[in-house]
């Protein structure tokens, strides 16, 4: 596969030492965002910047309580940046921030019988799509967002993350 251009710019902060259990986590984040950007309308929105926080359950629970009123950890949170009228001094415009909690990601991956790396890749793509305005809580949007996630993950051979749920229906 041809190397994709490094846009959007991605700044990854590994805040929790728990992520040492997944030494390639930063590479997974960069690869997931690069592939998702190339697979979406992002190809028309050059010069953006995303920050990704790889944290622990304690940190994400505090963020979840503050911003969503839910006092519990979650796997991923996305915080879209407000639209700016002009780019930052470095020429880039912030797209938003993503936070991902190691303990929840590892626990969910084990429960679902999938590699932690695959689950992280999926959650980065999921969070990135939220930054672009996709919302699975809006009628009709969930199917569109999930289809896009499946397509992006399928490009690198990651199994459909919704297959077991769909089989139950």
Residues forming a β-bridge with 100: 54, 76
Distance of CA 54 to the CA centre of its chain: 11
33 — pLDDT class (breaks 50, 70, 90): very high
Q: 113-129: per-residue pLDDT in tens? A: 999 999 999 999 999 99
Q: Does the structure show a pLDDT above 70 at 81?
A: yes
- Quote the pTM value: 0.88
Spatial distance between the Cα atoms of 29 and 13, rounded to a whole number of angstroms: 11
Q: Does the structure show a pLDDT above 70 at 85?
A: no
Q: 92-116: per-residue pLDDT in tens? A: 778 899 999 999 999 999 999 999 9
pLDDT above 70 as % of the chain: 83
pLDDT of residue 7: 64
Instruction: List strands edge to edge, sheet with 93-101.
Output: 9-14, 48-55, 93-101, 76-80
Q: Break the chain into its structural domains and give their ranges.
A: 9-161
Spatial distance between the Cα atoms of 92 and 86, rounded to a whole number of angstroms: 9
**Helix residue spans in 69-169 (DSSP H):** 102-112, 116-131, 141-154, 163-168
**Please, are residues 21 and 102 in contact by the beta-carbon 8 Å criterion?**
yes
- Domain 9-161 class in CATH: alpha beta
Q: Parallel, antiparallel, or unpaired for β 76-80 and 48-55? A: unpaired
DSSP state of 98: E
Q: Parallel, antiparallel, or unpaired for β 93-101 and 48-55? A: parallel
Q: Parallel, antiparallel, or unpaired for β 76-80 and 93-101? A: antiparallel
């Amino acid at each position: 596969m041809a190397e994709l251009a490094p846009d959007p710019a991605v700044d990854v902060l590994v805040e929790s030492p728990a992520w040492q259990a997944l030494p390639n986590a930063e590479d997974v984040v960069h690869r997931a965002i690069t592939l998702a950007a190339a697979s979406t309308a992002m190809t028309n929105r050059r010069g953006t910047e995303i920050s990704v926080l790889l944290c622990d359950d304690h940190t994400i629970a505090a963020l979840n309580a503050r911003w969503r009123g839910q006092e519990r950890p979650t796997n991923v949170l996305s915080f879209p940046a407000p639209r700016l009228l002009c780019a930052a001094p470095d020429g880039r415009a912030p797209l938003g921030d993503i936070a991902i909690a190691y303990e929840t990601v590892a626990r969910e991956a084990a429960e679902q019988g999938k590699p932690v790396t695959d689950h992280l890749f999926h959650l980065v793509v999921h969070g990135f799509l939220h930054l672009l305005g996709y919302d699975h809580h809006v009628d009709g949007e969930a199917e569109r967002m999930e289809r896009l996630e499946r397509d992006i993950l399928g490009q690198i051979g990651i199994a459909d993350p919704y297959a077991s749920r769909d089989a139950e229906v």
